[in-house]
Amino acid sequence: MLKIEGLVTYYGRVRALAGVSLQVARDEIVTLIGSNGAGKSTTLMTISGVLKPTEGSIAFEGRPIAGLAPHEVARLGVVQVPEGRHILRGLTVAENLDLGGFVRSAEKRRTSLARVYELLPRLAERRDQLGGTLSGGEQQMLAIGRALMAQPRLLILDEPSLGLAPRIIEQIFELIRNLNKAGTTILLVEQNAAMALEIADRGYVLETGYIVAEGSAAMLRQNDSVRRAYLGL
C-alpha cells in the first residue's frame, strides 16, 4: 500500500533522514520505533507532504506522492494524527471534527461524523465543549477522530500515547486495534516500543536517519539490541 525508498529529508542544512526505506501492506499495523531525534516525525511528515524530500520516492497504492501538498495526500487517503495532537482549543469538539473532514464532501463528512461519534461516544457527549477543556486523553481521541473524518485508508499516528496515563494509553491502543480490524491500515510511531510491538505486525527501527533493523514484531521483540535500547530489558 505504501512504499518508501531511499528517503532523504533536510531541515535547512541538517540532514534528518539519510535514506529511509519502508513498506506498509494493506491491513497491517506497522510501527516505527526509535529514540528522540531519530527522525520518526520527519519520516511521517515527509509521507504526509508537510516536508519535501530531497531524494527518494514515496508511492501510495502505486502512485507517486512525494511532493504533493498535504491536502492532496490526505484526499488520497493518507491521513496523519500529528505528535502533540494540535487540536484547536478555542473551537468545540464538533468544529474540530468538521475541520478534519475538509478534504471530503459534505455528505461524506456527515457519514464520517456519525461513525466517529459511534466509535468515540465520549466525543459525542462533549460535542459542544471547547477543545481546550478536554483532558489529555480526550484531546488525543479528538485528534484521532479528526483524522478519521478524512476517511483514511492509511492512518499515521505520531506518539499517540505521549503524556497519557496508563489506563488511557490502553484505551488508545484498543482503539487503534479496532480501527485496524475495521479495515484501516496503520503506521504507528511510538516511544512506548513495548506496547507498539505488541499490537504491530511488523516494525522498523530508526536511528539518526537510518533504518537499522526491521522485521516481524515478534522477531524485533526477541532482538537483543532492540531489547536493550527500546524495551529496557
As measured in angstroms, the least distance from the Cβ of 57 to Mg ion is 23
d(Cα 167, Cα 17) in Å, to the nearest integer? 34
User: Among residues 2 and 116, whose Cβ is nearest to ligand ADP?
Assistant: 2
Query: Is residue 13 near ligand ADP by the rule CB under 6 A?
Result: no
As measured in angstroms, the least distance from the Cβ of 35 to Mg ion is 10
Identify whether the C-beta of residue 126 lies closer than 8 Å to the C-beta of residue 167: no
As measured in angstroms, the least distance from the Cβ of 208 to ligand ADP is 7
The partner residues of 7 in beta bridges, in order of sequence, read: 20
Contacts with Mg ion: how many residues (CB under 5 A)? 3
As measured in angstroms, the least distance from the Cβ of 159 to Mg ion is 6
Query: Is residue 161 near ligand ADP by the rule CB under 6 A?
Result: no
The answer for residues whose C-beta is within 8 angstroms of residue 68's C-beta and 6 or more apart is 49, 76
* Options 41, 80, 185, 192; binder of Mg ion; rule CB under 5 A: 41
Q: What is the CA 89 to chain-centroid distance, rounded?
A: 21
Out of ligand ADP, Mg ion, none, what residue 136 binds, judged by CB under 5 to 8 A for its kind, is none
Binding to Mg ion (CB under 5 A) within 72-91 occurs at 83
Helix runs in 101-165, H state only: 106-119, 121-125, 136-148
106: cell is 459534505
Q: Is 26 exposed, middle or buried (0-12, 13-18, 19+ CB in 10 A)?
A: exposed
Sketch the per residue contact string, 39 through 78, with ligand ADP: x for CB under 6 A, - otherwise.
xxxx------------------------------------
Contacts with ligand ADP: how many residues (CB under 6 A)? 11
231: cell is 524495551
DSSP summary character for residue 132: G
CA 183, 59, 101: angle at the middle one, nearest 5?
50
The residue ranges that bind ligand ADP (CB under 6 A) are: 11, 14, 16, 34, 36-42
The residue ranges that bind Mg ion (CB under 5 A) are: 40-41, 83
